Amino acid sequence: MSDSQLKKSLPIVTRRTAVKGGFATLGAAAFVGAISPLRHAAKETTAAEFMQQHYQELSDEDKRKVIARLEDETKEEYGADVTIGDDRPLPGTKFVYAINLSVCNGNGKCVEACHKENNHDRATNQSYIRVLEMPKGTMDMEQGNTTYTHTVPDDGKFYLPVQCQQCDEPPCVDVCPVQATWKEEDGIVVVDYNWCIGCRYCEAACPYHARRFNWKKPEVPAAEVNPDQSYLSNRIRPQGVVEKCTYCLHRTRRGRLPACLEACPTGARVFGNILDPDSNIRWLLENKRVYVLKEELGTKPAFFYFFDK
């Protein structure tokens, strides 16, 4: 091809190109305008947060920095002084939970305690626990009702609290595309809230409705913020990530009991280390008639139900 050929075609191209260029510029400007709300969102994310590595890849030094930053952010955004720990599993511990269905009367104190302890969004009244009111004589959840408002217990009913079963074969962990959730050595399934991308595949996979998504930024009044927090547990979650029950690891890994258990007025809840042969929970599991929810799915829950009689 010769240069003259190219030159001849240039003027036509130039005029067209100029008009098109004008429209392309307009379009680009309109696009920037259209996505301008993102600037607001970007302001909430610092470079350090954006670049932060997965929890398991953070060195102790990194963790200190991250936690200091998170504490500062909580102070700034919620006006609360909090301490965020990095509680690790205790060696030789496998936590399990059990509920005595003969005793549970559906009063819902556990639901409330969970809500407060874990700094859940006040507006949505979130909690990791749901209590099903079930007619006696069935284990078919289809018969259950979670929205009862009458005085409890109701005649002919029993109550089935459901929360994360901390499965030994957790489907939620398998499906996560970025390994933002995993099972720790003490049996607790945790989420790195700073690594979750918010695809909610785990929510779809969980057979126990145990996961919650932060559809918006949680609102908690400064006075109500629980200041005893842990990185993998009850620190106030960012918007757009999934969270779940951690057996209150910020308490249980420090030798205390889960908040839902402490709040239970009937004593239906039992918690402990199954590896400890002298523990109360070990005795119960060996001597009561125990069953687990949806056993047929092969999730192997570390959460048990039993009846007295």
Partner 1 sequence: MSTTNQPSAILSYPAFLRRSLSLATDGSLRFYAWMTALTAVALVGANAWANQVATGMITTNMTDHVSWGLYIANFTFCVGLAAGGVMMVIPAYLYDDEEMHKVVIIGEAVAIAAIVMCTLSVLVDLGRPDRFWHLIPGIGRFNWPMSMLTWDIIVLNGYLVINLHIVGYLLYMRYLGRKPNPVWYFPFVFLSIAWAISIHTVTAFLYCGLGGRPFWNTALLAPRFLASAFVSGPAFIILVMRVLRITSGYSAPPGPARTLIQIIRVAMVINLVMLASEIFTLFYTGGAHGVSAEYLFFGLHGHHGLVAWIWTAIAMNLLGTVLFFTPAALQRGWTRILACLLVIVGIWIEKGMGLIIPGFIPSTLHEIVEYAPSLVEWKVTAGIWAFGLLILTVMLKLIANVFTGQLNLPGSESASR
Contact positions vs partner 1 (CB under 8 A): 1, 5, 13, 16-17, 20, 27, 30-31, 33-38, 40-42, 45, 50, 54, 130, 132, 140-142, 144, 146, 162, 171, 174-180, 195-201, 203-209, 211-217, 238-242, 294, 297-299
Which of residues 54 and 88 has its CB atom nearest to partner 1 in the complex? 54
CB of 93 to partner 1, least distance (A): 26
**Closest CB to partner 1 among residues 93, 304:** 304
Which is nearer to partner 1, 176 or 274 (by Cβ)?
176
Indicate the residue among 197 and 222 with the shorter CB distance to partner 1.
197
DSSP letters for 155-197: TTEEEEEE-----SS-HHHHH-TT--EEE-TTS-EEE-TTT--
Q: Which residues of 24-40 are buried (b: 16+ CB within 10 A; e: fewer)?
A: eeeeeeeeeeeeeeeee
Task: Output the smallest distance, CB 43 to partner 1, in A.
Answer: 10
Q: For partner 1, which is the closer residue by CB, 4 or 151?
A: 4
Report yes or no: 169 and 294 within 8 Å, Cβ to Cβ.
no
Find the shortest distance in angstroms from Cβ 68 to partner 1: 21
Q: Of 181, 188, 161, which Cα lies nearest the Cα of 252?
A: 188
CB of 172 to partner 1, least distance (A): 10
CA angle 163, 292, 109 (to 5 degrees): 35
- Looking only at the bridges linking them, the beta strands covering 242-244 and 228-230 are unpaired
